[in-house]
Amino acid sequence: MKERSSVDKSCAVLTGIFVALSLWFATPNLGAGSPQDVQSLFDQATQSLDQDNFAAAAAGYDKCLAADPHMLKALFNRAIANEMVDRAKAIADWKSFAAAAGNDPEMKYLAARALARVQILEGLPALPPGLEPSHYVAADGDYYRLVAPDSDGLQWRHFPIKVYLGSAPEVKWQYGARGAFDIWRNVIPLQLVANERQADIRIGWQESAMGEGHAGEELDWVRFERVGDQLTGRRVAVITADLSRSWSKDEMRAIMLHEFGHALGIKGHSDSKKDIMYFQMQEKYRRIPVPMPVTQLYWKSLVKNPSPRDINTLIRLYNSAGYIAPLH
């Protein structure tokens, strides 16, 4: 009896080990397919996306979709992540999402948004290396969400961007402006032009007319040109500075760094003093008839370079089809 019992026990133990091993080996197929496991993969990936860790998020959603190819919210969120990883994959994801969601009345609105993003992404230019998603450093973060509403769609579509620096009334200011140009040129391709009519961005040294406490402003105009019977308009960003004050070279460089940031497509402000796009005290907006909002600032900053957050924000603005909230 005793012996048999012992044999039974070892059989039971062996069976137990066998079952455990079978489960172990089956896990990748059965386990990952269970709804709880897919949901936890999804939650993990979404956490990465919320932390702007786009590559990790995309890889996480890959796993979700391998386990459950019909998980539409994973496809939707992977498309968002892929805009900051690989534009071609993002376009493919949005198209797949629109195709899969288009027949579902509750998803129709999202399907339309997906198709709108495909159009935007397909219209974006090939980007210079410095603006490619691989240069986004997730650990540094960004302030994209603060500036996206004012900035989306206002990025340049051709490179290099042509800049006319003009002639400053003081030599030290000329050096300051040139310094700002040289610093931004390390981030995004800029080209000096000698004729202001060719410029995408120009400094209007003679056009200073701003209120007390404003160091500089950046304003987008539309320049209309007649070619034969055709009237065409193109955007020109004009930077001005308050010339009534005795700025040093370094101060002028900091003013110009900030205003160039606006001109290059960051139309709002950072919330950190370490960023060149921080605004010190107060921001005023007013609208003028033809083009876009005027941005004025009360300013005092001597940040010497665009910060990693400034650069991350710029990269995101140039790669994203606009801010969109992930699904949860």
Shortest distance in whole angstroms from residue 258 CB to Zn ion: 6
Q: Is 257 in the site for Zn ion (CB under 5 A)?
A: no
**Site residues for Zn ion, window 297-316 (CB under 5 A)?**
297
Place of tokens 């010339």: 243
Give the residue nearest to Zn ion (CB): 297
Count of residues in contact with Zn ion, rule CB under 5 A: 2
- When the beta carbons of 58 and 254 are compared against Zn ion, the nearer one is 254
Compute how many other C-beta atoms are within 10 angstroms of the C-beta atom of residue 63: 17
CA nearest to 243, candidates 164, 162, 176: 176
- DSSP of 224-252: EEEETTEEEEEEEEEEEE-TTS---HHHH
- When the beta carbons of 60 and 216 are compared against Zn ion, the nearer one is 216
- When the beta carbons of 76 and 143 are compared against Zn ion, the nearer one is 143
- When the beta carbons of 295 and 301 are compared against Zn ion, the nearer one is 295
309 Cβ contact list (under 8 Å, min separation 6): 140, 141, 142, 143, 270, 272, 274, 275
CA nearest to 33, candidates 69, 5, 59: 69
CB-CB contact of 86 with 106 (8 Å): no
Helix (H) or strand (E) holding 163: strand 161-164
Shortest distance in whole angstroms from residue 169 CB to Zn ion: 22
Shortest distance in whole angstroms from residue 295 CB to Zn ion: 5
**Site residues for Zn ion, window 260-299 (CB under 5 A)?**
295, 297
Shortest distance in whole angstroms from residue 272 CB to Zn ion: 14
Locate 302 and state its tokens: 């001597």
Q: How far apart are CA 110 and CA 56, in angstroms?
A: 24
- When the beta carbons of 295 and 313 are compared against Zn ion, the nearer one is 295
- When the beta carbons of 75 and 276 are compared against Zn ion, the nearer one is 276
Shortest distance in whole angstroms from residue 297 CB to Zn ion: 4
Compute how many other C-beta atoms are within 10 angstroms of the C-beta atom of residue 219: 21
Shortest distance in whole angstroms from residue 259 CB to Zn ion: 7
Locate all alpha helices (DSSP H) within the chain, ordered by sequence: 2-26, 35-50, 54-67, 72-83, 87-101, 108-123, 144-151, 171-185, 249-264, 308-319
Shortest distance in whole angstroms from residue 53 CB to Zn ion: 29
- When the beta carbons of 148 and 297 are compared against Zn ion, the nearer one is 297
Shortest distance in whole angstroms from residue 128 CB to Zn ion: 24
Locate 244 and state its tokens: 């009534």
Report residue 217 CA to chain centroid gap. 23
- When the beta carbons of 95 and 235 are compared against Zn ion, the nearer one is 235
Binding site for Zn ion (CB under 5 A): 295, 297
